[in-house]
Structure 1
Amino acid sequence: MNITNECVKCIIYQIEKATKVLNLDEELSKSIMKEVKKRAENFSFEDTPPFVAKDVYQYLAKRTNLDDPLEKIKQKSIQKAISYVPFIEEKIKNSEDKLFTAIKAAVAGNVIDFSTKEEFSLDDEINSIFETEFAINDYEVFKKELEETNSLIILSDNAGENVFDKILIKTIKNIYPKLTIYYATREKPIINDITTKEALQIGIDKYCNVISTGVDTPGLEKKQASRDFLELFDKTPLVLSKGMGNFECLENYHDKKIFFLFKVKCEVVANTISRNLGEIVLKRG
């Protein structure tokens, strides 16, 4: 999915939001925003939103001398998500379809997103998600593919979601104990996305193999991925892709082995899949 004018505005807004969250002094904030707006004039409309966002986020990190500018937000999101673990585990325990319930919990976590103008409440989402229908629901197809495969890659998204992803992976392993699962993260900090550090922090590696994609973009930009990851990606028969960033990078491939799981949080993505803002989807590529 290539950027639009709305994407450009959104990316500029994200950096402005970050300068406020970081409590930067006024002169530094103005200087950063001036440069970001200048760079935005040269964004290529042949690129995906995550690809162009990388440049300005790396610039933000350089100007603030912070390798991971949003680290505090990431940690706060993780702790917030952890508080819901007993509630979600009880829901799954009492569910007739434990896999479907765990997928619902995983998509609820997708509301944790710094990079969208629309903001959603995790509290509200958790309390309503199990009664919310998927606007696009390819669950039965995904379940059938899962039953027939020997390996699965889950493409991670935002910090905090990893807590719910761990519950999903644990559930999958309980149902399909022989299945090999890879949990793929960003190579280095970008926005509030999950790196290997945040994945290992919550002990998700007890149930799966934590790996890096090699990308430094807030989405799986395949031209940025490592050779090792691409080799694994190509030979793995099933991929569960979390979040809009991964969707924006991968939807143009029309790859049937990929299933996209996310909440629609911007109008550009909503228009791309002909759905509405705020809806949840589990969509085959």
Structure 2
Amino acid sequence: MKTSLDCMACYLAQTLRVSRVATNVESKHLSALRRVAELIGAMDMERTPPENSVAVYRAISEITGCADPYLEMKQQANEQALAVLPEFKKKIIGSSDPLATALRIAIGGNIIDYGAMHSFDVAVAMERCLNSPFVVDHSERLLQKLRSLEKGAKVLYLADNSGEIVYDSLVVSELARLGLDVTVVVKSGPIINDALIADARFCGIDTIARVLENGTRCPGTPLADCSAELLQAFEKADIIISKGQGNFETLSESEAEIYFLLTIKCSVVGTHLAELSKTPQQELSGNGELVLFHYNGKPDV
């Protein structure tokens, strides 16, 4: 997915929001805005929005002196998700299809995104995810694929945000019960509220799956910049499951078959997905629509 003109205003809005989280010094807020405005003028519009955001967040970090502005919020998101995890486990156990229910909860958890949204209600989103239809619904394809895999088959699960990764553990647990070999991928350094290896360990996902850093501080998975280890895992995976907008934006035009699980929080992303999935654009406005999209390396026809 290429960077859009609409992304320019979003970068500036994120800059002001993040710099205010990082420091209360107003002069640094202004300096950050001016630096990012310069970066915007030279951006390569052929690159994906997450790739272009790396320089934006690096500039904010350098000016404010804060490498991880959302650290405290990420920890709170993890703790809040862990607190309600037993309740969701009960819902999964009591459902007619535990794996399908776990997938729904994981998609609902994708609302926890400080880059795309500055306010959200996790409780409302999680309740809605259990009862609302997916706007793009390829869940049966994913379920059939997962259940057709032999024991020991390799699943590559690209995680997105902290907090959300707690809900991802529900899916990973179900995959482990199927006898599948799951690798969960996190980022290699702080960027927005994306999950790091510390978040994976905090929620215990490392006890049921291998955890792998992708080698970048990009809020997505830009394969050209990822580590050799990640690329090898990507190549050898029997199935790839991708969480969140950033991963979708960086992989939506790759040659790999990927199952994308996300909520749509941006009209630009919604428009792009509508084109790929042949969905009416008005149905993907960017207001939290639930999506499970099967991408097989070319647009569905």
CA distance in 2, matches of 1:58, 1:73: 19
Aligned residues: CA RMSD: 1.3
1:279 maps to which of 286, 289, 293: 289
* 1:30 counterpart residue number: 30
Question: What SS class does the counterpart of residue 276 from structure 1 fall into?
Answer: coil
CA distance in 1, matches of 2:144, 2:94: 22
Cα shift at 1:83? 2.2
**Contact 1:10/1:117 (8 A) holds in 2:** no
Structure 1 residue 245 and structure 2 residue 254: aligned?
Answer: no
Cα shift at 1:119? 3.7
Structure 1 residue 167 and structure 2 residue 170: aligned?
Answer: yes
Q: Deviation per CA, 1:128-174, whole angstroms, max 9, x where unpaired?
A: 21101111111111112212331101101011011101111112222
Question: What SS class does the counterpart of residue 283 from structure 1 fall into?
Answer: strand
Counting aligned pairs with the same residue, the percent is 29
* Structure 1 segment 173-212 matched on structure 2, within 5 A: 173-174=176-177, 176=178, 178-212=179-213
Cα shift at 1:117? 4.3
Gaps in structure 1 of 5+ consecutive residues: none
**Contact 1:184/1:210 (8 A) holds in 2:** yes
**Contact 1:163/1:202 (8 A) holds in 2:** yes
* 1:156 counterpart residue number: 159
CA distance in 2, matches of 1:39, 1:203: 39
Q: Which moved more, 1:264-273 or 1:57-66?
A: 57-66
Opposite residue 161 of structure 1, the aligned amino acid is E
* 2:219 counterpart residue number: 218
**Contact 2:259/2:293 (8 A) holds in 1:** yes
**Contact 2:185/2:214 (8 A) holds in 1:** yes
Gaps in structure 2 of 5+ consecutive residues: 275-283, 296-301
Structure 1 runs of 4+ aligned residues shifted over 6 Å read none
Q: Which moved more, 1:199-208 or 1:243-252?
A: 199-208
* Structure 1 segment 1-285 matched on structure 2, within 5 A: 1-117=1-117, 119-149=119-149, 150-174=153-177, 176=178, 178-256=179-257, 258-274=258-274, 275-277=284-286, 278-285=288-295
What is the TM-score normalised by the length of structure 2? 0.90
What is the TM-score normalised by the length of structure 1? 0.95
Cα shift at 1:254? 4.8
Aligned residues between the structures? 282
Question: What SS class does the counterpart of residue 252 from structure 1 fall into?
Answer: coil
Cα shift at 1:120? 2.8
**Contact 1:216/1:224 (8 A) holds in 2:** no
